[in-house]
Every structure is written in structure tokens, then in C-alpha cells.
Amino acid sequence: MRLKYIPVLISIVLGIIGSAANYSITLNNQQRFIENELIYAAEKRFLMINEIINHSVTVLHSLALHFSVSESVTRKEFEEFTGPLFHHHPYFQAVEWIPKILDKERHVYEQSVRDEGFSGFQITQKERDKLIRRQQQQEYFPVDFIYPFKGNEKAFGFDLASNPIRRAALEKVRDQKIMMLATARIILVQESGTQYGFLLFFPVFKKGKLHKTTEDRQKNLRGFVLGVFRIGDLLCSAHFGDTDIDVFDLLAEEQPQLLFSDGRSNGTEMAYEKELDVGGRKWKIIFRLTSGVMEQNKDYSAEIELIVGLLFTLLLSAVIFILLTKNLAIKKEVIIRTKQSVASELYIKAIFNTTVDGIITINNEGNIQTMNPAAEKMFGFRLEEIVGKNVKILMPEPYKSSHDAYIKAYLTSGAPKIIGIGREVTACRKDGSQFPMRLSVGEMNVENSQMFVGMTIDITELKETEKSLREAKEQAETANRLKSEFLNTISHELRTPLTIILGNIEELTDENELPENDEVADIAQDIENAGLHLLTLINDLLDLSKIEAGKMKLMLKPVVLNEYISDVLDTVKRLAKEKMLRLIFQPEFDAKVNGDPIRLKQVLLNLLNNAIKFTDEGSITIKTEIKAEKAVIRVADTGCGIHREDLQYVFESFRQVDGSDTRAAKGSGLGLAITKKLVELHGGTITVESEVGKGSCFTYSIPIYSKEENHES
């Protein structure tokens, strides 16, 4: 059996035990009730029997006394005395006077009785159920006076001493000093039915004679007053209909002798016993309730209670069974629901814990309730150190100070500023650093308390991307603009010398108007200059495109610094002289740099050309020094200088920071861009410092040559 049905089993067992116990108690109570009934009925009947016997004794005793005090009592006197008593106490079969007749008196006696009108009277004895004349004895105890005579005729003249039981009794009561004595059970002489009878003897002694000793008593005995009782009649006159009795004589010789029985058995063993002294004999009376009374008292309540108890047990067990089954079903349901809710809780928790966006919940006072790991990471706080604190801790000023008022205003007016909407805010980490954040706030109601949930996304990267995109866009726009400018510039730069060339050639094409020789020489000079300018421009463009395409190859070799500088100075010496400018170079030390000699010369030439170009008077000084494994070369002039705001553009292609009208004469705007790229290709850097009106200083560095690093770049 499965454990869950144990309560049902217990209820069945307890129910059966309870019902059985109740049945037994009720049965016991019924038994006790019947017992009480029996005792009551028995005591009542016993009292009545006792009363009857006592009355009878009284009657007989008074008659015996009457005989004792009278000299002689006549039959008539006997009847007159006995009649009324008998009438009041109708329990006797008969009251008799038994005189003692000596054998010598027998005839006289018999004759005297006959003379009284009882012809044929004689002293008799019983033999084979017949009364015959009493054989001769020393003394006789014949039944003489009988009241009532009618019905007892058979006893008239019967010698009581002729029967052993009667004789034993009368001798005993005669010889012993007792007032009366009852016989054992006898069948009465006059009995025609089957019931037993008994006799109660009262000895009567001669008036005035002693009867203390046995001899006295035997000698002076006059006779007996005798009560004749039919036991059945006597006991039945004390019958109220509720008891049956069995009466035994306990003093019978061999074993208790049955004196009387109602002869009805009610089938119950329940009996009540009493002992009664009747003329010196001991009667045991066993009372039983009659079957009628038993039937009346028959009570089925115990059985009914048992059946009801068992039915109730059955019902209770069924109810428990149903409840258990139901309970088990509910338990199962609860388990399933709990599992589902745990699963969904775990599911939600997993989402909460793994989502990359921060989730923070606060109550309506702004205190933090939960924070997911993403938010912990975002703000640098651990959950346990921030739970319960006001969410203001995550805000910089001025939001921090206005947040409480904001929540209050929302709770009272319901007008949202951010709830239900999302926006970008500035948030504050634990270390005080600030970062841009996308915040969306939702409102929820958990177990009747209003709460807010905030989803946070750190948009620092987004912002940076935005910024770089914006910059890229600006750069693209600038590049586009520069491209247009480049095209403008290049077309301008190309057209200007071409215009000069074509204009001059025009003067030589008309054969009739050819110029003078010296003029032709000037025209040729102009055409050459313009052609050279075009060539320079095209070379610069080619260099730049090579560099930008990554195709410029350097032929690196050790270059003696001072020789290199001196060579370039020689190239520009004539130009400087033309502009009355001093070229100053005083080498203090020498070194070898690692470079492509042609390109290195191009760099310095560019710088010196510019210096000469933008300096009207003064000097151009070249200084060198060694710094961090590099040779640093400075080219300083005393020229016009460059505006501070233009400084950043000088190294860009086609950037000329002065007016466009000077371009044709002064260059393509590519020189410094190429110079910078060439320096960088060598592994060096180039910078410019300048002050308008005072001059400019370009500084560039080239790595010092070392034997190990002699390779092409």
C-alpha cells in the first residue's frame, strides 16, 4: 500500500476500534442496567417471600402458643382460631394439629375422633401410594385438626412419623431446643400435582411441664402445630411477573436439592442469588429476569451504534480518501505550477543577468531595489553596496539635485519627462567619471507598490563613432573642396605658363612683323621660364602622386651632412645674390645621415627656394645639431613670415597662404607637401615656427647613418 493511503487505513482501524469499544461500553451499560433491573426485581420478590414466611411463622407460632397455654383445644376452637388467620394469610396449604398419641392411647384416640363424626377414622401410613392403617408403634403423630379440611382430607389421620423425612424433622424439633423446624422437601400426602411441599413444625409441650432437657422434651411433648406449605404456591404468591426463580435446599443431605423452579429459561446466564432461612433450613433462591422482561429490555442501541459507527467510519474514510486524492492532485498541481514559476523566474533572471543593457529598478522614493550585472559593470558599483541607496548616486549635477522633486512631481501630477520615453542623459560612475547614456524608464506596479525600471545603454562608443563619422564627413567635404580647389589651382597653374608661352610665340609667328633680335632673346627667355615652371609643376605633381601611391623609392646611402648642405647652397647662391640676401651656414660638426641624396637635396632646395622667395632683405641661416640619433637641420629666414592661423596648412598640397596673384611667380603650392612627405619617408619629421614680419624657421630631422641600416626604403 502506498504511504499516502495510511491516513485512510488509520481512520478505518480507529473507526473500527472506536465502534467496537463503543459497542462494548453500550453493551456493558445495557448489561448493568439489566443487572440492576434484576437486582431490583429479585430483592422485591425476595422481600415478599421473606414476608410471607415470616407471617406464616407468626401465625403458626401464635397457634402453638395458644395450644401451649390451653389445657386442651377442641377441633372447633382450632378452626375458630385458625380460620381468620388463615383467611388473612392464604399462603398455607394447611394448618394442622398433630398430637402425640402413645400406642396405649391409640384406640381411645381413634374412637374419640370417630365420635366427633369422622367415622372410619384411623391412624394411617402410606404404602405404595395408598394410605393404610398404621402399623403398631410406641407412639404416633397423626394429623388431627386440619384447617382447611377440604382438600386436605387425605392427610387426616396420617402418621407423620411413618415417613422418615417428617419423622426426622419432628424428632429434631422435639429433642433440640428450637422453636420451629422445617422439613426438607416432601411430597405432600394430599398432593395431587407434581410440586414439592414442606412442613413447619412447632412443638407444643404439656402445660406447666419442663421442656429444657431432651428427656423432658420427649416426655412432656404434647404435639405439634404444623404448617403445611406447597412450595410452588408459596413462591408464586410472591410473584410480580418479572422474575423466574430456582430454589434449592442447601442443607439437603447429598447436594443442594431443587425445591422449586419456574421451569422457564430466558436463555440468559444473568442471575441473582439470595439465601433465606426457613425454619432452620437454608434455601438458596436464584433469580432470573423473565423472558418477557428481557424482551422488554431488549435494547438494540448497541448494535445500532455499532452499525452507525461502522458506517460513519466508512463515510469518514471515504471523505479522507477523497480529500487525500484531491489534496494529492492539488499538491501535484502546486508542484507543476511551482516548477513552471521557478522555470519562468529562472528564465527572467537569466534574461536579467545576461542582458547587455543595464537594468535598474527603483521604488517610488527613488531607492535602488535591483541592478543587473550589466548595470553593475556600467556604473562600477556592486549590487550589495548600492541596494537601498537613492538612484541620484548615478547622476551628475544638475540632475542629481532635481531628481527627488522630479519623482514627486510625477507621482502627484502623472506628467512624465522621461517615463515611457527614452532619451540621452549623462550618467556618473562610482569613480565620478561621466559618460553618455541612453536611458528609457518604464513604470510598473509590483504587489501594490509603484516601481520604476530603467534600461541603460552606455553610448560612449556610439558617441565616439558619431564624432568620428562627423569628422570623416567633414574631412570628406574638405577633401572634396580641396579636390575642386586642386583642379582650379592646377588648371590655373598650367594655364598661366602656357598663356605666357603661347602669347610670346604669337609674336614670333607673323613673318612680316618679327621682333628685333634682343626682343627675341627676351621672348625666348620668357618662354623658357614658363616652360621650366611647367616642368617643375609637372615634376612636383608626379612626385606627389608617386609618394601618395607609395611608389616613391628612396636610394638610401650615407650622406655627409655638411657636403650635402653646401652643395644645395651652391645651387641657390645666385638666386640669393640676386635678392641681396646673405646665406649663412657655419658647420660646427659633421655627420653622416642615412638618405637618398637626390631627395634630400630636393627637401633642402625647396626650403631654401621658399626662404629666398619670401624674404626680401636680410639673411637665410642654416644650423644643424644632433638630437636623438637624428641630424636636425634648421632653415631660418628673415622674410615675411606666416600667419599663425595659416601655419597648419603650409604642409598641405596646393596650399598657398598668400594671395593668388603671386602663384605664377612663386610656386605651385606643392613644394612643402612633397618636402614633408620626403622627410617622413626618410624616417624624420618637419615642423615650422613663424612670426609675421620677422621670418620663418623650418626644422627637419634625418636619421644619422649607422652601418647596420644601409638599406633601401
Residue with Cβ nearer ligand ADP (203 or 497): 497
Residue with Cβ nearer ligand ADP (270 or 534): 534
CB of 378 to ligand ADP, least distance (A): 50
CB of 405 to ligand ADP, least distance (A): 59
Cα(278)–Cα(663) distance, rounded to whole angstroms? 177
CB of 645 to ligand ADP, least distance (A): 13
Q: What are phi and psi of 628, to 5 degrees?
A: 50, 55
Nearest CA to 361 out of 281, 441, 274, 249 is that of 441
Buried b (16+ CB within 10 A) or exposed e, 264-303: eebeeeeebebeeebbbbebebbbbbbeebbeeeeeeebe
Q: Which amino acid is at 73?
A: V
CB of 550 to ligand ADP, least distance (A): 21
Residue with Cβ nearer ligand ADP (285 or 670): 670
Residue with Cβ nearer ligand ADP (175 or 485): 485
Residue with Cβ nearer ligand ADP (358 or 671): 671
Cα(110)–Cα(681) distance, rounded to whole angstroms? 193
CB of 495 to ligand ADP, least distance (A): 16
Residue with Cβ nearer ligand ADP (590 or 658): 658
- Residue pair 550/542 in contact (Cβ under 8 Å)? The answer is no
User: How many CB atoms lie under 10 A from the CB of residue 352?
Assistant: 16
Cα(585)–Cα(611) distance, rounded to whole angstroms? 14
Report the residue number whose CB is nearest to ligand ADP.
Answer: 667
Residue with Cβ nearer ligand ADP (15 or 667): 667
Residue with Cβ nearer ligand ADP (81 or 654): 654
- Following CA atoms 339, 343, 346, 351 in sequence, which dihedral angle do they give, to the nearest 10 degrees? -160
Contacts made by residues 266-273, CB under 8 angstroms, sequence distance 24+: 266/290, 266/291, 266/294, 267/291, 267/294, 268/294, 270/31, 270/34, 270/35, 270/38, 271/38, 272/35, 272/38, 272/39, 272/42
CB of 633 to ligand ADP, least distance (A): 14
Q: Which three cell numbers stand for residue 331?
A: 499538491
Q: In what order do the strands lie in the sheet with 368-371?
A: 368-371, 358-363, 449-458, 434-446, 422-428
CB of 690 to ligand ADP, least distance (A): 7
Cα(527)–Cα(507) distance, rounded to whole angstroms? 12
- Residue pair 482/393 in contact (Cβ under 8 Å)? The answer is no
Q: Which three cell numbers stand for residue 705?
A: 647613418
Residue with Cβ nearer ligand ADP (650 or 686): 650
CB of 659 to ligand ADP, least distance (A): 9
Q: Which amino acid is at 672?
A: L
CB of 607 to ligand ADP, least distance (A): 7
Cα(134)–Cα(142) distance, rounded to whole angstroms? 10
Residue with Cβ nearer ligand ADP (320 or 604): 604
- Residue pair 139/171 in contact (Cβ under 8 Å)? The answer is no
Which DSSP helix (H) or strand (E) runs through 439? strand 434-446
Nearest CA to 489 out of 644, 686, 693, 673 is that of 673
CB of 576 to ligand ADP, least distance (A): 13
Q: What are phi and psi of 406, to 5 degrees?
A: -65, -45
Residue with Cβ nearer ligand ADP (206 or 601): 601
CB of 651 to ligand ADP, least distance (A): 8
Residue with Cβ nearer ligand ADP (19 or 638): 638
CB of 626 to ligand ADP, least distance (A): 24
Report the DSSP pairing between strands 582-585 and 619-627: parallel
634: which strand partners? 623, 699
- Residue pair 442/422 in contact (Cβ under 8 Å)? The answer is no
Cα(199)–Cα(173) distance, rounded to whole angstroms? 12
CB of 501 to ligand ADP, least distance (A): 19
CB of 652 to ligand ADP, least distance (A): 9
- Residue pair 636/616 in contact (Cβ under 8 Å)? The answer is no
CB of 540 to ligand ADP, least distance (A): 8
Residue with Cβ nearer ligand ADP (38 or 642): 642
Cα(395)–Cα(238) distance, rounded to whole angstroms? 116
Sign of CA pseudo-dihedral 173, 177, 180, 186: negative
Residue with Cβ nearer ligand ADP (459 or 611): 611
Cα(36)–Cα(40) distance, rounded to whole angstroms? 6
Residue with Cβ nearer ligand ADP (41 or 681): 681
DSSP string, 267-317: S----EEEEEEETTEEEEEEEEE-HHHHHHH---HHHHHHHHHHHHHHHHH
For ligand ADP, the binding residues (CB under 6 A) are: 610-611, 614, 637, 639-642, 650, 655-658, 666-672, 696
